[in-house]
Amino acid sequence: GDNVDRGVHNFLVQIRSMEDHSLMPGIITGDIGPKLGYNNMDNGFARFNNVIIPRRNMAMRFTTVDETGKYTKKHMSAAASKIAYVTMMQVRALIIEGVGKLLGMACTISIRYSAVRLQGFDEKSKDGKLGKTEVQILDYKQQQHRLLPLLASSYCFYFVGKKSMDDLNHMEKCIIQGTGNISKTRVSDIHASLSALKSVTTAIASDGVEDCRKACGGHGFLQCSGLPELAGFTVHTATVEGDNHMLPQQVMKVLLKLVDAIHNDNEEAISEWMQSDSKYLVEPLQKSINGETETFGLVHEKEALDVKNILRAYQHRSARLLFEAA
């Protein structure tokens, strides 16, 4: 009523007649057409030209418009706003888990193909001559280097997606029941983690499925291999639910808040960060900001293979890169 742009809101709109299922006046719908992949999903469009709907068709749980046209925004509890946030993050967790499955499918096809495809002869025969039996291409280190890391990645993506979804479901339950202390910082931290994971996993999976296809040579170019369809199906994940070039900016925005909290010695904010998954960044950042040097020594070279030491090195690297970027 007061000519102010209130942003995006949800409305229920009847698009077809209840009598003959024809489109209502002023409404045009259609399919957007064939896509590079994901064609089992129908993506359509709708155009509305001077379509009038009842006022009560507006979703008015948090915002209302009365008979006079007065717009009122209700107070949204912190829990309600967090629930909306969690729902968005659950979709990203599903995508991360999904690309793990897709990459796993591609790896299964290409590795099995590599186990039965023979090419080249074994030069290490007893009489110094070429062997009579051709070699499985999976025995070539180049093929192993190409496919096996992708197989490992597929497991990683699948399990991190499942773990993220479990954490989000637990968080959602705590918010609804009012149990547990789910701070805004913790929600932001999980959002940053999932934004980063979505960007990284979908990029690796998209490139990985395509490389699996190439690793099968000419057979990988055939539709009957299943790989071209998988490649087209996977590549859309780089765009859906957040473009992969935009999401890292959201991650950095959240992490810079941590640096700011440590720089300003904000004890309350630091305490909240210590309850998040990014707590490993706090101590290294404090030392870097105070000009201190963090080191840790390895007594034996075997200690360099210890998962805990590898993880600690990566954590230090993350903190250092964040400090330099800030």
d(CA 83, CA 255): 22
d(CA 43, CA 33): 8
SS3 string, 116-140, reads: HCEEEECCCCCCCCCCCCEEEHHHC
pLDDT digits (tens, 9 = 90+) for 129-161: 656 678 899 999 999 999 999 999 999 999 999
Find out if CATH 2.40.110.10 is the number for domain 1-75: yes
pLDDT digits (tens, 9 = 90+) for 299-311: 788 888 889 888 8
State in words which class domain 78-245 has: mainly alpha
**Three-state DSSP class for 136?**
strand
Amino acid identity of residue 218, one-letter, is: G
Record the pTM. 0.82
For the chain, the residue count is: 326
Q: Report domain extents, the chain.
A: 1-75, 78-245
Question: Contact 64/258 with Cβ under 8 angstroms?
Answer: no
Give kind and range of the element (H or E) at residue 45. Answer: strand 44-48
- Rg over alpha carbons for the chain, rounded to the nearest Å, is 27
Highest mean pLDDT among 51-55, 181-185, 322-326: 51-55
Q: What is the per-residue pLDDT for 295?
A: 76
H-type alpha helices, the chain: 78-116, 141-177, 184-214, 227-235, 247-263, 267-273, 282-289, 307-325
Task: Provide the greatest CA pair distance for the chain.
Answer: 98
Decide whether 1-75 matches 78-245 in CATH topology.
Answer: no
Write down the mean pLDDT value for the chain: 88
The one catalytic residue among 19, 123, 210, 241: 241
Give the number of other Cβ atoms within 10 Å of residue 157's Cβ: 27
DSSP state of 119: E
pLDDT at 221 over 90: yes
pLDDT at 102 over 90: yes
303 labelled catalytic: no
